[in-house]
Amino acid sequence: MTTLSFIHRFEPASVAGRPPVLLLHGTGGDENDLLPLGRMIAPGSALLSPRGKVLEGGMPRFFRRLAEGVFDEADVRRRANELADFIAEAREAYGLAAPVAVGFSNGANIAAAVLTLRPEALAGAVLLRAMVPLSDTRVEAGVGDLGGKGVLLLSGAADPIVPAENASRLAAILKDAGAIVEHKSLPVGHGLSQADVTLTKAWLDGFQGNSPKET
Ligand code: MLT
């Protein structure tokens, strides 16, 4: 494996023309966790899967938190920039187009932070159980920064970690910043369900360039 600034796994594309996918795991996961999901939702795509650098009681994460749902925002900014730099390195090393992020939980939250702080790093994003990563995200992003990038946000109606209001606020922030956001609330909790897999695969199948293809 090429040595880059994050421990990671990379699987090259086997089908031309599919967008590369950046897989971002949840708390306690690692670079191996989401590869099987990646192969299911994006068959033939290049898969890039880094391991979060922050440890919480030995569990890898992508940024520090003070408590569940209470983030160390200075660290969120630092880590989002670090991850965006890694994406640029990996694109150079592996000859990749800008990837679509697929993040779960903490991985979805760092993807939302990268989208707003370093929009050029990602072609779009699938955010599974994401919440607002920065309290002043709206100010930071400015209006129009996301310039038509596609975002699929899948929330759980019975999620004990992400309040419905918070997920809706994230959708509104991303829309205000110019993203084309599809937000669905599924009848599930924080964990992933078959519906997440089916909806994510369908959305990625329709993904062309920055935004999902009109169907
Ligand atoms: C986070 O810390 O990013 C969220 O609370 C989700 C989690 O990792 O539990």
CA dist 18 and 110 (Å) reads 23
Task: Look at residue 190 in the predicted model and tell me its pLDDT.
Answer: 98
Distance CA 92, CA 86 (A): 10
Q: Which of 199, 211, 213 is nearest to 98 (CA)?
A: 211
Q: Are 51 and 7 in contact (CB under 8 A)?
A: yes
Give the C-alpha separation, 135 to 133, whole Å: 7
Beta bridge partners, 49, equal 9
Chain segment 60-82, per-residue pLDDT in tens: 999 999 998 899 999 999 999 99
How does residue 215 score in pLDDT terms, banded at 50, 70 and 90? very low
Helix, strand, or coil here: 203? helix
Residue ID of nearest Cα to ligand 1 atom 5: 69
CA 135, 141, 143, 144 torsion: positive or negative? Answer: negative
CB atoms within 10 A of CB 30: 16
Concerning whether 159 is annotated as a catalytic residue, the answer is yes
Per-residue pLDDT tens digits for 151-196: 999 999 999 999 999 999 999 999 988 999 999 999 999 999 999 9
Ligand 1 centroid to Cα of residue 105, in Å, is 6
Indicate the pLDDT class of residue 208, thresholds 50, 70 and 90: confident
CA of 62 to the centre of ligand 1 (A): 9
Token output for 209: 């360039």
What pLDDT does residue 171 have?
96
DSSP helix/strand/coil, 95: coil
pLDDT at res. 137:
66
Task: Give the model's pLDDT for residue 147.
Answer: 87
CA 76 to chain centre: 14
Q: Which atom of ligand 1 is nearest to the CA of 61?
A: 8
Angstrom distance (rounded) from CA 79 to CA 39: 26
Q: How many residues are listed for the chain in this entry?
A: 215
Indicate the pLDDT class of residue 213, thresholds 50, 70 and 90: low
pLDDT one-digit tens code per residue, 93-136:
999 999 999 999 999 999 999 999 999 999 999 999 999 999 87
Q: What is the pLDDT of residue 80?
A: 97
From 66, 68, 110, the mutation candidate for ligand 1 (largest count of ligand atoms within 8 A of CB) is: 68
Q: What pLDDT is attached to residue 145?
A: 81
179 neighbors 148 (Cβ within 8 angstroms): yes
Q: Is 66 in the pocket of ligand 1 (CB under 6 A)?
A: no
- pLDDT number for residue 209: 66
Who has greater pLDDT, 159 or 208? 159
Task: Give me 42's structure tokens.
Answer: 């994006």
**Which residue of the set 105, 145, 155, 196 is catalytic?**
105
Distance, CA 17 to ligand 1 centroid (Å)?
A: 33
| CA end-to-end distance (rounded Å), the chain | 38
Contact criterion met (CB below 8 Å) for 2 and 93: yes
Q: What is the pTM of this model?
A: 0.95
pLDDT band at residue 211 under the 50/70/90 scheme: low
pLDDT exceeds cutoff 70 at 6: yes
